[in-house]
Chain A
Amino acid sequence: MNVGLDVGYSATKAVAGERRVTFASAVGTPDKARFTLHESGALVLLQPDHVAVGESAVAQSRFLQRREDRHWTEGAEWYALALAALTELTAAPHVALRIVTGLPVAFYADRQVVRDRLLGEHRAQREGRPAQRFEVTDCRVIPQPFGALLAETLDDRGRIREQALATGAVGVIDVGGKTTNLLSVNRLSEINRETASVNVGAWDAVRAVQAELADRYPGLEDLRPHQVAEAVQARAIRYYGQALDLTRMLAEVLEPLAGQVVAEASQLWNGGATLDAILVSGGGALLLGDLIRRHFRHARVVAEPVFANALGFWRFAQRLAQ
């Protein structure tokens, strides 16, 4: 099975053919509701560690682990997220896998760490399921923003379908949780001097909104970051039974964030006039897309921006399998 895997600071995404999964990148203690009126669907791993993962961890865990440092790919949390994603893709007891994944441009030197972590045999067990064995026979780690570019350029067999993107000069603005990757390619070859990472992302908006909410609305001080992230996406939050509109608060937060991304991209790409297209991707694309388009009129948010990197990784894995 070929898999595109994108373990981000904010959300974990994985694609294998028609199957797509995403969940919050949160790992916590396996605490559960004492009773439930419906099928819980909780993502609880018994192996490699007994932990709750994703939305069930956000909602139920007493203690959440959430790292945001460069070395998180070496930790147990990252490993649990990666294996949880594989168990979401398939329930088969033994699967051979080819995985393509990505790393932010600034951390790309760490690719061997990720490759070593994923290659070989892994055992995982979900609560209520038999144990599974994943055998990763091939693993490629490519610069993260290539994912969105490949999603737009390749078809499901991994063949080039968009000649204009494949033969042109293209910029990618991939707005992740912690970092925004700026990639420039010509005929799909990276232009190194026009490629960089900026240390801002959607979590900066989440943190700013979290601080504002705590400051202005008593009772919202203890929201978890992923709960605030949900509110940011919905642009509203429930407050004493009423929907609180966050549009204005978000505008105040997002304008300077987009300004920083646009300033960096303009500097790298000399205004962007010579690029044939600019693709905006990542979970933050839904927040910043319109603001980026105000400056780069040929910028467009890719289809399924949240899944774009994982989808591109999967299409690239399909190509490798030919």
Chain B
Amino acid sequence: MGHKITVTISLDSEADRDLLGWLDRQENRSAAVRGVLRAHLSGGVTLGDVYAALRDLERRLSTVTLAGAPSEATAGDEPPEAAAALDALARL
């Protein structure tokens, strides 16, 4: 087992009021911060990520002309009977 390392971070009483409030509500601050950091490192999605993805989607859609019906290639990709069997499986 490794040795304990204490890390100090600075927070502003006004600008970081939300973070301070969240920290105050934690029973074990160290465990809570570790959990949030791990979630972030393992690919946790932030609101910033969602906003960036939406802007990217908006940009892409601006160059696309939408047709009224799905293309035949998409509809014909799957054997109809097998697709219907999967639909039935979903309704079980």
Contact = CB atoms under 8 A, between A and B. Distances in A.
B79 A167 contact: yes
Interface in A137-163: 140-142, 146, 159-160, 163
Contacts of B5: none
Nearest to B29: A130
Contact of B82 (A141, A146, A167): A167
Contacts of A187: 79, 81-82, 85
Contact of A166 (B1, B26, B78, B90): B78
Chain A interface category by residue count: 20 to 34
Interface in B1-50: 1-2, 26, 28, 31-32, 34-36, 38-39, 42, 44
B1 A37 contact: yes
Given A166-B78, A167-B79, A146 B89 contact: yes
A300 interface: no
Interface of B: 1-2, 26, 28, 31-32, 34-36, 38-39, 42, 44, 77-79, 81-83, 85-86, 88-90, 92
A130 B82 contact: no
Contacts of B90: 140, 316, 319-320
Interface of A: 36-40, 90-93, 111, 128-130, 140-142, 146, 159-160, 163, 166-167, 185, 187-189, 316, 319-320
A111 B90 CA distance: 13
B38 to A, nearest CB: 5
Contacts of A320: 90
B31 A128 contact: yes
Nearest to B92: A142
Contacts of A91: 35, 38-39, 42
A229 to B, nearest CB: 29
Given A36-B1, A92-B39, A140-B90, A129 B81 contact: no
A39, A91, A159, A163: most-surrounded residue (chain B CB, <10 A): A91
A142 B89 contact: yes
